[in-house]
Amino acid sequence: MNAQIAALLDAMADLPPVDFATVKPSDLRAATVPMQVGPPPAVFAVRDLVLDLPGRDIAARLYVPEDTGSALPLVLFYHGGGWVICSLETHDALCRALARESGAAVLSVDYRLAPETPFPGPLDDCYDALAWARSHADELGIDPNRMAVAGDSAGGNLATAVAIRARDEQGPALRHQLLIYPVTDADFETASYRENGGDGSFLSTAMMRWFWQQYVGDIAQVGPLAAPLRQGDLAGLPPATIVVAEYDALRDEGLAYAEALRRAGVAVESETAGGMIHGFLTMLEAVPDGYPYLMRAAARLRAALS
């Protein structure tokens, strides 16, 4: 395990454990705070927005990396947190860094959370936000012909499903999908779950079961838009970059999704971050060794959107 990760886990060892048999979503949200110990990465501009979607409004935040005087490409970013926790604030630093390194504007979407809004509500928010961005391109200062989706963990799951819906519903054309340790299945018997999902893990099997239950209710009934590895047809999806972490229960399903995309003829670059754990890209202040993985992923976005 990476030494910076080990030191971080040691510092967190005294935190009280969470009992997922009794914990309430509100309590877990209250305990989830941004991991930020210094000034956030600088970008040219940050704007908080309200997206007027059919039947509801949701918040979003636009990051503009530089003042180019011309329309920028846009990355729709969906934060992780098991569809239940996290926010624009917990992923602010990651979105800033992604905008800086990719040269694209980033629109971070504050989709509604489960269990108050279960599947498919969060996915509907994410997909409708993509359509909103395309129709408001002039207001955002972006090029609607150069768009991509990205997300980490449950947000990576939402990004995959948005890409699938955009293909199937003749939605906005996407040039790339960046999937960071994505949730792609509800299979808790993989080798990476057995190796890394024990009690006390940063992301345990008990935690993921709880997240899935909040999102879909009956895990046995999970369908292919909630678990994209179960999709029968992945052909025609945008090229993908998939980053997984070596010491992560979700490692194997992320790699399996990369392989499924390749078999469907989709161009994929996948990378396993050695020594890292789930969530490491939201810990860059404490784990600077993770930054090269972000830089390489952002470079692929930059090339796809150029």
Each residue's pLDDT, cut to its tens digit, for the chain (306 residues) gives 999 999 999 988 888 889 999 999 999 999 888 776 678 899 999 999 999 999 999 999 999 999 988 999 999 999 999 999 999 999 999 999 999 999 999 999 999 999 999 999 999 999 999 999 999 999 999 999 999 999 999 999 999 999 999 999 999 999 999 999 999 999 999 999 999 999 889 999 999 999 999 999 999 999 999 999 999 999 999 999 999 999 999 999 999 999 999 999 999 999 999 999 999 999 999 999 999 999 999 999 999 999
Catalytic, out of 92, 124, 248, 252 = 248
Using an 8 Å Cβ cutoff, are 177 and 151 in contact?
Answer: no
pLDDT, position 68: 87
* DSSP class per residue in 171-223: ----SEEEEES------TTSHHHHHH-STTSSS-HHHHHHHHHHHHS-GGG--
Catalytic, out of 79, 91, 176, 278 = 278
153 annotated active-site: yes
pTM more than 0.75: yes
pLDDT, position 12: 87
248 annotated active-site: yes
- In whole angstroms, give the CA distance from residue 60 to residue 76: 10
* DSSP class per residue in 70-95: SPEEEEEEE--STTTS--TTTTHHHH
Using an 8 Å Cβ cutoff, are 51 and 132 in contact?
Answer: yes
In CATH terms, 3-305 corresponds, of 3.40.50.920, 3.40.50.1820, 3.40.630.30, 1.10.10.10, to 3.40.50.1820
Domain boundaries, the chain: 3-305
Catalytic, out of 87, 153, 192, 201 = 153
79 annotated active-site: no
Using an 8 Å Cβ cutoff, are 96 and 41 in contact?
Answer: yes
